[in-house]
Amino acid sequence: MTAATPAIEVAGLVRSFGEVRAVDGVDFDVAPGEVFGLLGPNGAGKTTVIRMLTTLIPAEAGSARIFGLDVRRESMRVRRAIGYVPQQLSADGGLTGYENVWLFARLFDVPRREREERIREVLAWMGVAEAAPRMVSTYSGGMVRRLELAQALVNRPRLLILDEPTTGLDPVARTDVWERVLSLREQLGMTVLLTTHYMEEAEALCDRVGLMHRGRLRALGTPTALRADLGVGATLDDVFRHHTGDVLADQGSLRDVRVARRTASRLG
């Protein structure tokens, strides 16, 4: 890590939906090259933070910067600096893998002379080059997630943002996604921000985590340091319970089940 401009600077971020305060004064920084995780149950405010950082919705108060760029006033420059994989399915099952990545290359205005090389490059990085001519509807869940990573990387972003990147994947596919994310960070020096409610995912991927609960950041630090504060044998589940009085594991909603089933149906 260096003393350079932070990859992400969030200060006093606030966002409400009706009378519900989804994000309530959140503050954190992420250093260049760091893998930072927002950890918490569904409804904690993680995805709302992500949507503000990716310029999809405005903050009501506070500020957010990506590599020094204000997400509100410099939204187009911010979008060119990031790659984003949402929790919901973003690949089109009616197109081939190659066509999906080609569309993202066009959306990000990748120069025509570089487009073919970039597409081939990211498909190879994610291990889906051989499957690229096939319809995405024939892909497994893990392959779809890797294709979505390829889509997000085609513009060579400085910051990769992943919202619940392994939800609905089996343990083997989940581990494969983890390994590829860490490999990208090592090869490219890329900064990664991810949200998750899987403890093992946070332990495997994150240099630091922020524990979110009911719109607020309750604790911040490395997984090791947070566990050490509670004593020998403490787990991240214990840390979360200590700071929130709640249990993180096995939390979900009917909507999550419906989304997972809808995704599975679209992929065949």
Q: Does position 224 have pLDDT exceeding 50, yes or no?
A: yes
Q: How crowded is the C-beta side of 185, counted as CA atoms within 13 Å?
A: 22
- Kindly compute the dihedral angle of the four CA atoms of residues 39, 42, 44, 45, in this order, to the nearest 10 degrees: 90
pLDDT given for residue 137 in this prediction:
94
Residues 138-160 have pLDDT tens digits of 999 889 999 999 999 999 999 99
Return d(Cα 124, Cα 106) in angstroms, integer: 19
Structure-block tokens of residue 245 = 């009085």
Residues 54-111 have pLDDT tens digits of 999 999 999 999 999 999 999 999 999 999 999 888 899 999 999 999 999 998 889 9
Going from the N-terminus, what domains does the chain have, and what CATH number goes with each? 8-267 (3.40.50.300)
Predicted structure pTM score: 0.87
Return d(Cα 181, Cα 1) in angstroms, integer: 18
Return d(Cα 186, Cα 100) in angstroms, integer: 26
pLDDT given for residue 261 in this prediction:
40
Residues linked to residue 70 through DSSP beta bridges, in sequence order? 65
pLDDT given for residue 248 in this prediction:
62
Residues 228-248 have pLDDT tens digits of 998 888 888 889 888 887 766
Return d(Cα 216, Cα 97) in angstroms, integer: 38
